[in-house]
Structure 1
């Protein structure tokens, strides 16, 4: 198992990717510590695991104290911290720059950049090692490289680009403490959010869901888009000791939608 006996924090645990990351880490032997703003999502997710290997706390990552509390919970409950996967994000701001409400942009950056880095900062003292390595993984978005045409989310894309830059800087900064910092970069991924989008598009245009999906999948090298679970598996690999020699990298999980 990739994470046998390790302890990993996962932020943004809801119905989609955050839950999938927690499940994948747990199935690879980890103790999982779950954070999210919505307590009912945490209760539901935690019920899937052996209570001896799970802990959770309602966590708003824009609060430094809440970030410290989540890290303290992990260390207090399981004695150590070996990894952090930053999934929590704000993605509900739509449109481009010409029509931007920059107050909404600031809120997006406060979560996606500042909040993510606050949680990472809280974890750093507990991730430092004298031998072996530990890992931080940021979940980013292909839209920072290739703007989406179906849904315009300039604020979200720009915030993820900023976090990619931070990934590189953190990898260099924290390498001497044996902390690896990497990014996993999904494109469209099949899960609750995309399922909802496809259903809405089909209904609003009076077409089948297959027809709604076709313009997206037709540009991918593989016949189907990656799933939330595929992205979660990549994150678990990157945070695990199997990726001991990898830092400052971005791993795209996109079924060949975009190659670089």
Structure 2
């Protein structure tokens, strides 16, 4: 199925690895004009080279740290200087923070909020004028299954991921009259570097292999396994495409069935 993304100008923030990178690569393969954004220039350039080699599509890169307000200002200024239109904004930043409630300082709460929520707020605010100039635009956040099924020992991430879904719903209602769709994807356990690092650390503590740890966590998933980032990216590409024009204000689980709630 042709997703009709050819020529669409899409900014993917958090694109150097993991789900963000897979999403950027999938969009490029569909013919979109993709710009990658991440904090570290070296990993960003490497990511761009991988996409260009696998898709044959040229991609642009811009460096920014979403936790730094001045970086977002500079990012928007660079975009304006390039004179690009903007059809879609993908925000694939964020992450989980594992700690018991009583171990979390005010500083830890604030830092996680800035990374998981406020960074996305700043990005949408900065690029909204560009999205408004598009014929029909889209914003896509990446949340997490924990927003709908909170896990113990990661309360700060649970709270902020749920807040991101509230942000999605609110922005969708405010921006739909301007033909800007806002949605979120809630991935479950996915074989990214972050999960492999976590599994490796637990394996070392327990004296078992990384694979044993991964298989143990996979037992909670109805699909019986972790996702590949590509499986998340395929859904993201569809949601961003004109084919999904009637999907508005949704938080879509792509989690192998780990979240057992009705919503």
Shared fold, TM over 0.5: yes
User: Aligned to 1:29, which of 11, 28, 31?
Assistant: 31
Aligned ranges for residues 205-244 of structure 1 at < 5 Å?
205-244=206-245
Conservation of the 8 A alpha-carbon contact between 1:134 and 1:240: no
**Residue 140, structure 1, aligned to residue 143, structure 2:** yes
- Per the TM alignment, residue 89 of structure 1 is displaced from its structure 2 partner at its CA by 1.6
1:94-105 paired onto structure 2 within 5 Å: 94-105=98-109
Q: For residues 246 and 38 of structure 1, what CA distance do their matches in structure 2 show?
A: 33
- Alpha-carbon deviation of 1:112? 1.5
1:155 positional shift: 1.3
TM-score by length of 1: 0.89
Query: Higher mean Cα deviation, 166-175 or 44-53?
Result: 44-53
1:4 maps to 2:6: yes
Shift of residue 76 of structure 1?
A: 4.8
Residue 61 of structure 1 is aligned with which of 54, 57, 66?
66
Secondary structure of the 2:101 match is coil
When normalised by structure 2's length, the TM-score is 0.88
Counterpart-to-counterpart distance in 2, 1:86 and 1:206: 37
The residue number in structure 2 matching 1:119 is 123
Q: Distance in 2 between matches of 1:36 and 1:7?
A: 17
Q: Quick check: 1:4–1:30 contact (8 Å CA) kept in 2? A: yes
> Does 1:173 pair with 2:162?
no
Offset, 1:94: 2.8
Task: Determine if the alignment matches structure 1 residue 13 to structure 2 residue 15.
Answer: yes
